[in-house]
Amino acid sequence: MNALATGHEDLIHDIAYDHYGRLLATCSSDQYIKLFTRVSPSADWSLLSSFKAHDANIFSLSFALPQYGLLLASCSEDQTVRVHRSIDDGRTFVKIATLSDSSGPVHQVAFTKFGGHGLKLACIGTDGVVRVYHAADPTDLRQWHLAFEKVVDKAGLLANGVAAAKDLQGDFAIDWCPSGTVRAPWFTSNLDSAMDDSELPRVDRLTIEELAVEQFVASSMSKVFVFRKRLNGGIYEYERTEELPGHTDIVRDVAWASNAGVGGRYELIATASRDGWVRIFKLTTRRIGEPTAEYRNGAAGTVSLNEDKGDDYDEFAYDVELLDQFDHHKSEVWKVSWNVAGTILSSSGDDGRVRFWRAAYTGKFVGVGVASAEQIPQDEVDE
């Protein structure tokens, strides 16, 4: 697989794969988005389309799930998020929505990754506000409404002076939880260590509605928080819940892994930081209070959710634990991303290296190799 000249006229700031990994979008300071298609069997990329998408630097891209058609969101220094749609498999794109609530450049945009959560889009920018938009009518994707907005870390922003002093660098990132198998408290409450495997409730027997908890992770400067949709006074709304602690400098990227690789037993979130560390946090479900008895009734080894939900239905939280951390980059780390099962993590940064980490049998992560953007001397090749 050879390097590919994209045709951009300035640096590339982000790339995004479509859900299948078949299409690749790139965005740049040249204000263009370019779309490439994977050519089988060589796995090389071929340019499919190119269009001017913003009036300033484009920072981030995200594809929506394919059941909503080919939708691509972009965000820019021009303070907008734009949604583009293609009805001809990526050959042309038409802008269908412009979301301009941000009061500063928008750094990152992300569509929901789990189908059961509907078509939602989150973004965050230099105003430190995370915003969630919702296209309530999937048959009319031109209509988006702002469902949520909140300053991620107001105290931190003020303390760092980012809001006031533009010359100081700040960074912000966001990522949705990709899994629909997060266990609600009534689920975990049914687990008993004495149960043998056949007695355990099986995730695959439960419906999305029974399992899915809508949540995302957002970073603002050096703070990282989980936001979760919770039932509050009869209304579902996002709330800032757990903090992922320990970052001593700006967090450049956050990535929430699929929990499939661990059978839904816990969640993994990776962060990339200016302090030179790649961190992997393990989030294990902890129940707050006892669920009412109605939630425990199940049939045929499954757990069913009683219609009559108690107040504590949504009351669960995570125990956050730093599973692993690596400083192998010995310099600022900018990007982290996971494979489909959440078993392989990549990190990249100022050392011009991509590092790959893999979950070992014990669940801890170990290095599996490095891809270098620096040429390797001929004598080492000969060795």
Partner 1 sequence: MFSFTDPSRSGSGHSTFSSSFGRPRPICSSFKEPVTPAKESSRTTKAFVSPFATGRSIPAEGMRDVSEEEEEEDEEEEGDVFTYALQNAPIATGRLRDWQDRGRTLKFRLSPLHSDGIAWIDEKRVDGGSEAHAAPEEMKIFPAEIPDSALSDEYLKFVKDAHELYRALSEADQIGGAIDPSENILPKYATTFLQILDVARRRIFDERLSEAYVVCHCLFASYFVDPAITRAEAIMDWLNQSDPRPTTEETSDIMTTAVPYNEPGFWEMVNKLALRGLFYQCSNCLKEADMPYSDSQSKEALQTATSILETAPKGAKAFEGHRKWRAHAIAFGEQCTKLADTNLRKGLIILANILRGDTDTILTLSESWQEVTAALFLFHDPAPSRLSEYYHMAVAQFPVDFTVISEAGCAAVIAGDIPKALSILERLDVCVAAHIADFCDRQRMLDDFYNIETLDLPPFRDWLFMAHGITCCATAGTWFIGATYLKDTEGTQGLSIIRESITHVYPDNEATLSELLEICKDLQFESEAQEIVIAWSKLQLSRNQVGSAMEWLDSIGNSLEMRAITWQLLESTLLNGLTLPDTILQRFLVSPRLCPGMIREFIAPYATYFAFKNHLNEGDVVEAAQSLASLLQFGFLPGRFFGALLGELLPLLDRSQPRTLPTSELIAIMNSLYQWEKDPQKYTEGVRFLAKTLDAARQATELADDDWRVEHVNVPSKEVIKLVRSKLVSEVSRAYLEEL
Place of tokens 């669940």: 363
- Tokens for 294, please give them: 């109605």
- Min dist. Cβ of residue 301 to partner 1 (A): 12
- Min dist. Cβ of residue 195 to partner 1 (A): 12
For residues 27 and 60, is the Cβ–Cβ distance under 8 A?
yes
Contacts of 127 (CB under 8 A, 6+ apart): 102, 103, 104, 151, 163
CB closer to partner 1 out of 112 and 148: 112
**Residue 103 phi, psi (nearest 5):** -100, 15
Greatest C-alpha distance within the chain: 71
CB closer to partner 1 out of 100 and 143: 143
Plot region of 367 (φ>0 → left; ψ -120 to 50 → alpha; else → beta): beta
* Integer CA distances (angstroms), 67 to 18, 71, 98, 312, 378, in order: 12, 10, 21, 33, 49
Contacts of 261 (CB under 8 A, 6+ apart): 341, 342, 343, 359
CB closer to partner 1 out of 69 and 289: 69
DSSP 290: P
CB closer to partner 1 out of 234 and 369: 369
CB closer to partner 1 out of 148 and 325: 325
- Min dist. Cβ of residue 236 to partner 1 (A): 19
- Min dist. Cβ of residue 289 to partner 1 (A): 25
- Tokens for 220, please give them: 């603002």
Instruction: Measure the CA–CA gap between 24 and 304, rounded to whole angstroms.
Output: 40
CB closer to partner 1 out of 138 and 161: 138
- Min dist. Cβ of residue 360 to partner 1 (A): 6
CB closer to partner 1 out of 191 and 293: 191
Question: What is the separation, in whole angstroms, between the first and last Cα of the chain?
Answer: 23
CB closer to partner 1 out of 233 and 369: 369
- Min dist. Cβ of residue 171 to partner 1 (A): 5
For residue 247, which of 315, 333, 180, 174 has the smallest C-alpha distance?
333
Instruction: Measure the CA–CA gap between 107 and 103, rounded to whole angstroms.
Output: 12
- Tokens for 156, please give them: 């931190």
